[in-house]
């Protein structure tokens, strides 16, 4: 069963609830189409706060600024650049916007309660992107403490709420995925389709159901973590090129989905890893992606029965039932087949049956020689 469509439709309605979602792009494949769909879920209206540090709101929210959806509020911080803007630190306003309506939240800074409030009910908070936040603050530790404060606000709400972080090659990724920040986690990673084709052709490790899941993941995980291989497949001399990422075209990519803390039966401390497809601006079945058709074609050809060599010949190579019965009754011409097995107890024994032409004489042939 595909996991991505249910997460896209309602991030706050997953069972059990996942308060932290990480959406990871890379130089070779953007994950912006997935991020846009998360911002505008198809079901269960939810209050959404989008804090833009890298991409402007118009590139993330459809119809901005003419949107009539009052449940989405965007905060454009893209012009707040350190050393070029006096007010470049947006942490106070971000924390205030998330905690408004509940009173000040003690995070060690002066809170600014904004007019925009976050009413009761499910709440989605988007940070785009963590990389820009780390660059603006010039401190990994301060960025981590800020994200932890945001997550504490999210988890302390009475209604299920979610913090969605968008990042690329962020130095904080290892820390953000650890269990001490959040025991449960949904990690969405975008990969180019060329990487899957490369694994299927060069490593003979196609994705399931075309291949073994154990073999695929044992090859996919270490190769995908080496980002230079994906960049070479996309931007190299024979690369496929890059996707614009706007989500309005028919470009395709694959999504690695890691859900921690909830298995298929709701088990605790479990990790479920799967790979799914994406086309345009919606999830797609992996087997329906045009860019991966060659993999399924190879699987179909391997599943077909090999050609019968007895077909299309000018003579009959098959036996009739009576011929097969007569053939089975013919005794095999083995000389020693009637001897009991216990007689051959000596390892390496040589059994020789003299031929009629053999000249066997027990006398010493060199008896006449005086040696």
Helix (H/G/I), strand (E/B), else coil: 238 = coil
> What is the structure's pLDDT at 341?
57
Take residue 19 and report the two structure tokens written for it: 């308060």
Q: What mean pLDDT comes out for the span 308-326? A: 82
Structure tokens at 95: 């924390």
CATH code for the domain in which residue 22 is found: 3.40.50
CA dihedral 178, 183, 184, 189 (to 10 degrees): 0
Does 88 score more than 70 pLDDT? no
Instruction: Decide if 230 is inside a domain.
Output: yes
pLDDT score for 314:
80
* Domain final residue pick, 132, 153, 183: 183
Question: Of the residues 183, 208, 239, which one is the last residue of a structural domain?
Answer: 183
Predicted local distance difference test score (pLDDT) of residue 244: 42
* Confidence class for position 335, pLDDT limits 50, 70, 90: low
Give yes or no for residue 312 having a pLDDT over 80. no
Q: Is there a single domain that holds both residue 99 and residue 198?
A: no
Residue ranges making up the domain that contains 249: 191-256+283-307
Range 78-85, long-range pairs (CB < 8 A, 24+ positions):
78/52, 78/53, 78/54, 80/53, 80/136, 81/136, 82/136, 82/138
Q: How is 310-367 classified by DSSP, letter by letter?
A: TTT-SS-----HHHHHHHHTSPP--TTTTS-GGG--STT-------TT----SS-TTT
Query: What percent of the chain clears pLDDT 90, i.e. is strictly above it?
Result: 34
For residue 5, pLDDT beyond 80: yes
Q: State pLDDT tens for residues 106-158.
A: 333 333 333 344 556 788 999 998 999 999 888 999 999 999 999 998 998 88
Specify the number of domains making up the chain: 2
Give the single-character DSSP code of 70: T
- Sheet containing strand 47-52, edge to edge, reads 72-76, 47-52, 123-128, 161-167, 20-24, 185-192, 252-260, 271-279, 282-284
Q: What is the average per-residue pLDDT within 356-369?
A: 69
Q: Which residue has the higher pLDDT, 253 or 347?
A: 253
Q: ω before 294 within 30° of 0 (cis)?
A: no
CA distance 286 to 255: 9
pLDDT confidence tier of residue 299, bands split at 50, 70 and 90: low
What is the pLDDT confidence band of residue 215, given thresholds at 50, 70 and 90? very high
What pLDDT, on a 0 to 100 scale, did the predictor assign at position 342? 56
pTM of the model: 0.73
Q: Is residue 332 one of the residues assigned to a domain? A: no
Measured CA distances, 89 to 31, 143, 166, 257, 304 (Å)? 26, 11, 18, 32, 62
371 in a structural domain: no
Per-residue confidence (pLDDT) for residue 71, from 0 to 100: 80
Question: Do both 171 and 204 map to the same domain?
Answer: no
Q: How confident is the model over 254-284, as pLDDT tens digits?
A: 999 999 885 444 455 688 899 999 998 899 9
145 with 176: CB under 8 angstroms? no
Average pLDDT for the chain: 79
Q: Specify if 328 maps to a domain.
A: no
pLDDT value for 2: 78
Phi, psi of 153, rounded to the nearest 5 degrees: -65, -45
The gap from C-alpha 355 to its chain's centroid, in whole angstroms, comes to 70
Q: Is residue 339 part of a domain?
A: no
346, part of any domain: no
């Amino acid at each position: 069963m595909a996991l991505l469509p249910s997460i896209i439709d309602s991030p706050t309605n997953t069972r059990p609830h996942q308060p932290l979602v990480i959406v990871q792009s890379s130089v070779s494949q953007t994950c912006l189409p997935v991020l846009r769909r998360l911002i505008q879920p198809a079901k269960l209206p939810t209050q959404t706060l989008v804090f833009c540090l890298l991409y402007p709101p118009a590139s993330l929210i459809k119809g901005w600024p003419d949107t009539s959806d009052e449940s989405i509020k965007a905060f454009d911080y893209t012009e707040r650049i350190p050393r070029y803007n006096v007010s470049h630190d947006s942490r106070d306003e971000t924390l205030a916007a998330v905690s408004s309506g509940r009173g000040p939240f003690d995070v060690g800074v002066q809170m600014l309660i904004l007019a925009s409030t976050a009413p009761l009910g499910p709440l989605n908070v988007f940070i785009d992107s963590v990389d820009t936040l780390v660059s603006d603050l010039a401190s990994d530790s301060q960025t981590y403490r800020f994200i932890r404060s945001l997550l504490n606000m999210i988890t302390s709400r009475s209604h299920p709420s979610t913090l969605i972080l968008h990042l690329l090659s962020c130095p904080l990724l290892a820390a953000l995925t650890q269990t001490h920040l959040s025991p449960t986690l949904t990690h969405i990673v975008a990969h180019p389709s060329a990487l899957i084709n490369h694994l299927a052709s060069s490593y003979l490790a196609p994705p399931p159901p075309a291949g073994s899941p154990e073999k695929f993941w044992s090859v996919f995980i270490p190769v995908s973590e080496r980002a230079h291989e994906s960049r070479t497949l996309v931007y190299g001399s024979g690369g496929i090129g890059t996707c614009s990422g706007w989500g309005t075209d028919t470009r395709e990519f694959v999504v690695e989905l890691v859900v921690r803390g909830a298995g298929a039966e709701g088990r605790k401390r479990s990790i479920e890893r799967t790979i799914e497809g994406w086309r345009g601006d919606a999830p797609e079945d992996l087997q329906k992606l045009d860019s991966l058709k060659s993999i399924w074609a190879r699987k179909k050809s391997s599943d077909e029965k090999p050609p019968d060599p007895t077909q299309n010949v000018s003579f009959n190579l098959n036996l009739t039932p009576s011929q097969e019965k007569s053939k089975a009754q013919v005794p095999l011409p083995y000389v020693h087949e009637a001897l009991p097995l216990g007689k051959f107890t000596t390892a390496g024994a040589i059994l020789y049956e003299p031929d009629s032409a053999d000249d066997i004489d027990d006398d010493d042939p060199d008896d006449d020689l005086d040696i």
